Amino acid sequence: PVPPRQKAIGSVEVRTHLPGNVYAVLCAAGDRVNKGDTLIIVEAMKMESPIYAPENGVVQSVDVAKGQTVNSGQVLVVLA
């Protein structure tokens, strides 16, 4: 299981729904994003799965890097 982490009030943690490798990071801290924008692409079983912004916001932090292995439920990006 992914350990809980402190989050700022009003922030949104964007998590992956499947384990795999980070194929691409398409955002950076400070970027303004809209609901539905692709933030991260996770590759699992030779399939690329985009991770979308659940709502409009500003990227507070990107907690993964390209090539990194991620577990299901892991925080990828925090939006404010």
pLDDT band (50, 70, 90) for residue 3: very low
Q: With bands split at pLDDT 50, 70 and 90, how would you rate the model's confidence at 7?
A: low
For residue 8, the model assigns a pLDDT of 59
Report the pLDDT value the prediction gives residue 51, as an integer from 0 to 100.
97
**How high is the mean pLDDT of the chain?**
91
The per-residue pLDDT for 10 is 76
Question: What tokens were used for 16?
Answer: 């992956």
Residues 6 or more apart in contact with residue 20 via CB below 8 angstroms? 42, 43, 44, 45, 49, 69, 70
DSSP the chain: -PPP----TT-EEEE-SS-EEEEEE---TT-EE-TT-EEEEEEETTEEEEEE-SSSEEEEEE---TT-EE-TT-EEEEE-
What are the tens digits of pLDDT across the range 12-32?
Answer: 999 999 999 999 999 999 999
